[in-house]
Amino acid sequence: MKNKKGVSVWVSAVLYFGIGILIIGIILAAGMPVVDRVRDKNIATQTKTVFYTFDKVIKDVAKEGGGSQRIMTADLKKGVLTFNQSADTMRWNYQTKAILTEPNTTVKEGPINITTLAMPAKGMYNLTYAMGYHCNLKINTTLESISGTRELLVYNTGSLYESTDPACGSPKNVTTIVIKEA
């Protein structure tokens, strides 16, 4: 009789342990997608702040005239920031499961164009932030792309670039801004 009680205690312990592990697994399976979406939303919000800082620094340096410069930190938790020197634009791309704007549309938020494109993989989206200075400033950089945390120098060369693009209206001189690693 004593042996049966000892065995039943161990069987009960193993069953309770197994049920506990099962419950934890169910909670994690249900909760992780929510955690991932919140993380992606925070990454997008933090990157938007980097874009607003970029915009402010570039405009301040342009306004202050030749020789003006600033060092700024671009802290990108995820995604890649690319520069298109010929179009005077910068663009950040990030693949996410979070829907942050209406899919397949572009939303303008201040100087930033935000686009969320549905990807072929179910539930995945390509989030893009884009900001450009075409017709207003000429951006020169040797950087093609950056990711992670980088110290960048933004300075005004004091030289003017003649924009003859018909989309900008009549030819005009625009300030040249250089972005490079500090």
Q: Convert the pLDDT of each residue in 88-140 to its tens digit.
A: 899 999 999 888 888 999 999 999 999 999 988 888 899 999 999 877 888 99
Query: What would the two tokens of residue 129 be?
Result: 């932030």
Tell me which residue of 155, 168, 153, 159 sits closest to 87, measured CA to CA: 168
pLDDT on residue 86:
84
Q: Most distant CA pair in the chain: distance in Å?
A: 101
Domain spans, the chain: 2-181
Q: What share of the chain has pLDDT > 70, as a percent?
A: 97
Residue 51: partners with Cβ closer than 8 Å, 6 or more residues away:
90, 92, 111, 112, 129, 131
pTM: 0.80
For tokens 């969320």, what's the residue? Answer: 116
Mind listing the pLDDT tens digit for each residue in 58-83?
999 999 989 999 999 999 999 999 99
Tokens of 134: 């075409």
pLDDT band for position 11 (50/70/90)?
A: confident
Helix, strand, or coil (residue 1): coil
Confidence tier at 87 by pLDDT (50, 70, 90)? confident
Distance CA 79, CA 176 (A): 27
Query: Which residue in 140, 125, 50 sits closest to 92, CA to CA?
Result: 50
